[in-house]
């Protein structure tokens, strides 16, 4: 069985399923790409004679959930709230606003000392503490504390930034 042919056959179905999960064409395309990559990487785990479509859609669903949890965890660590896709009441999501917010967050991350920002960004991208420790050749406890201090510093920088902006808006019009 050629897994590449199976992926090609199921591609329209994958795209439709990805869009239902993400509600965004660009995110859906990214999810399809990541799913195909993971399916090819783990092709030895697929058992012939089973439902390929169910197998690959399970990979997609799990990837989507993991990405959502990673984003939610990141937003929690920096002290911001994320709109839940599982919220009881549907809410409109402003992608322009979130893009600006993420740009501002990246600017704040760039203000951090590299010894804090590098492990923090690696953790955000999904690396475990152990993987970061190995890649940076730094003790595990040091990595954990640097990520903790990066979050703490970012919270303070975000508070300062938005407190100043709110103050300028409030008092600038007097």
Alpha-carbon distance of 38 to 27, in angstroms, equals 16
CA distance 7 to 38: 12
- Look at residue 166 and tell me whether its pLDDT is greater than 80: no
How far apart CA 109 and CA 92 sit, in angstroms, is 27
Distances 161 to 36, 65, 68, 77, 167 between C-alpha atoms, Å: 40, 31, 26, 17, 10
Both tokens of 89, joined, read: 């009441």
Report pLDDT for 169.
Answer: 43
Q: Which residue ranges form the domains of the chain, and what is each CATH number?
A: 3-77 (1.10.1740.10), 95-172 (1.10.10.10)
Per-residue pLDDT band at 67 (split at 50, 70, 90): confident
* 48 vs 87, residue with greater confidence: 48
For residues 41 and 38, give the distance between their C-alpha atoms in angstroms, rounded to a whole number. Answer: 5
pLDDT in tens, 78-129: 655 555 444 444 455 556 666 777 788 888 888 889 999 999 888 888 888 8
How confident is the model at residue 134, as a pLDDT? 94
Regarding predicted confidence, which is higher, 1 or 147? 147
**Average pLDDT along the chain:** 79
pLDDT value of position 136? 93
pLDDT band at 77 (very low <50, low <70, confident <90, very high): low
Residue 75: pLDDT over 80: no
pLDDT at residue 145 tops 80: yes
CB 116 within 8 A of CB 150: yes
- Give pLDDT, residue 87: 47
- Could you read off the pLDDT of 18-45 as tens digits, one per residue? 899 888 888 888 889 999 998 889 888 8
Q: What percentage of the chain exceeds 70 in pLDDT? A: 78
Higher-confidence position of 59 and 93: 59
DSSP string, 72-137: HHHHHHTT-----TT-SS-----HHHHHHHHHHHHHHHHHS-HHHHHHHHHHHTT--HHHHHHHHT
């Amino acid at each position: 069985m050629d897994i590449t042919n199976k992926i090609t056959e199921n591609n329209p179905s994958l795209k439709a399923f990805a869009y239902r999960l993400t509600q965004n064409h660009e995110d859906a395309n990214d999810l399809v790409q990541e799913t195909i990559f993971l399916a090819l990487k783990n092709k030895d785990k697929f058992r012939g004679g089973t439902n390929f479509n169910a197998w690959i859609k399970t990979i997609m669903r799990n990837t989507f959930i993991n990405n959502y949890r990673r984003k939610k965890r990141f937003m929690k660590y920096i002290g911001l709230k994320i709109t839940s896709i599982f919220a009881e009441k549907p809410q409109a999501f402003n992608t322009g606003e979130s893009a600006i917010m993420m740009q501002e967050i990246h600017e704040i991350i760039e203000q951090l000392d590299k010894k804090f920002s590098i492990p923090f960004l690696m953790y955000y991208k999904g690396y475990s503490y152990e993987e970061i420790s190995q890649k940076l050749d730094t003790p595990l406890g040091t990595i954990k504390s640097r990520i903790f201090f990066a979050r703490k510093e970012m919270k303070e920088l975000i508070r300062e930034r938005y407190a100043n902006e709110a103050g300028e808006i409030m008092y600038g019009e007097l």
